[in-house]
């Protein structure tokens, strides 16, 4: 378990705090120290092993709490608002670090929070409770896009969509694009057409000018090398924040492609709808 108020023993060193649960389980001093030091390295506190809790900042103390929980190698970890006592900057940093640690350890974590943005950022399944009752459970996007009660609707009303929405939820589908055989018109203003080639790739033109087509992969596409003459192909599961960055740097719609098939596009209009929460209206506009 990771506690809201750290719950470290002030008379113990950092490494002894991390090893406490292992000591209770009967591990030898050598073995529990070895495992505790490994987990301290995992949370970037290896050099603080012999310090005492009062010598650490709040964020560092909570990292010790994380290391102590991970040292137990339990199947399930319970985190009771572990970051709520921290300032916003440190809180955001620890959220990011927890996600990176989770990629390495792949543990089941039950994370309790009153902050929906935090829950949407960290969780891959969200359960919302009211008066002790479970009233909705689902993927983050489902919670935001399809609230089932007024309580949930009010709860998600001020959620930052940048942290949860994916391209698939916002895109204009190919059914709503002008289509001629294997070509789609994706921008009226610049007369941009995209063509599906036989080899599974795509080409694009703006009027009579050919455009470069680049594939997006997170942290790989060099935006210094793209501009108004570039169309970017991305997965429909791209995060909203990344899609907006592509649009900002290219000034062209983003192509959403899956298994070699064009599913839809993202342009300013789609982002505006998403930011304003106009999903139902957007669906109605497209149906019309």
Which of 19, 92, 15, 25 lies closest to 56 in space, CA to CA? 15
CATH 3.40.50 fits 167-287, yes or no: no
**Are 14-162 and 167-287 in the same CATH fold?**
no
Which of 47, 27, 52, 23 lies closest to 37 in space, CA to CA? 47
Domain 14-162, architecture per CATH: 3-Layer(aba) Sandwich (3.40)
Q: Backbone phi, then psi, for 21, in 5-degree steps? A: -65, -35
Cβ count near 213 (within 10 Å): 17
Question: Confidence class of residue 275 from pLDDT cuts 50, 70 and 90?
Answer: confident
The pLDDT value given to residue 91: 87
Which structure tokens are listed for 44? Answer: 């970037």
Provide the residue ranges of all domains of the chain, joining segments of one domain with +.
14-162, 167-287
Question: Confidence class of residue 2 from pLDDT cuts 50, 70 and 90?
Answer: confident
Secondary structure letter of residue 88 according to DSSP: H
pLDDT digits (tens, 9 = 90+) for 221-259: 666 667 778 899 999 999 898 899 999 988 899 999 998
Sign of CA dihedral 205, 209, 210, 211: negative
pLDDT digits (tens, 9 = 90+) for 180-209: 888 999 988 889 999 988 888 899 998 889
The pLDDT value given to residue 264: 94
Buried b (16+ CB within 10 A) or exposed e, 172-187: bebeebeeeeebbebb
pLDDT digits (tens, 9 = 90+) for 146-176: 889 999 988 888 788 887 889 998 999 999 9
């Amino acid at each position: 378990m990771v506690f809201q108020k750290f719950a470290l023993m002030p008379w113990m060193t950092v490494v002894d705090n991390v090893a406490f649960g292992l000591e209770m389980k009967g591990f030898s001093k050598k073995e529990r120290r070895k495992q505790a030091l490994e987990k301290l390295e995992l949370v970037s506190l290896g050099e603080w092993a012999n310090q005492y809790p009062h010598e650490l900042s709040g964020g560092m103390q909570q990292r010790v709490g994380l290391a102590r929980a991970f040292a137990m190698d339990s199947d399930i970890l319970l985190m009771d608002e572990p970051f709520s006592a921290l300032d916003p900057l440190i809180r955001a940093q620890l959220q990011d670090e927890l996600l990176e640690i989770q990629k390495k350890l792949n543990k089941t974590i039950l994370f309790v929070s009153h902050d929906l943005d935090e829950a949407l950022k960290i969780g891959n399944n969200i359960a919302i409770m009211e008066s002790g009752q479970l009233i909705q459970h689902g993927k983050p996007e489902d919670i935001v896009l399809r609230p089932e009660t007024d309580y949930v609707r009010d709860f998600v009303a001020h959620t930052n969509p940048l942290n949860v929405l994916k391209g698939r939820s916002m895109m204009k589908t190919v059914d709503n694009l002008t289509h001629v055989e294997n070509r789609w018109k994706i921008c009226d203003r610049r007369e941009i057409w995209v063509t599906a080639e036989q080899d599974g790739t795509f080409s694009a033109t703006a009027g009579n000018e050919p455009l470069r087509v680049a594939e997006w992969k997170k942290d790989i596409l060099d935006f210094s090398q793209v501009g108004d003459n570039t169309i970017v192909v991305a997965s429909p599961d791209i995060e909203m924040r990344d899609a907006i960055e592509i649009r900002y740097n290219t000034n062209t719609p983003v192509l959403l492609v899956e298994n070699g098939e064009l599913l839809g596009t993202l342009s300013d209009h789609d982002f505006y709808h998403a930011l304003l929460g106009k999903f139902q209206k957007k669906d109605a506009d497209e149906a019309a």
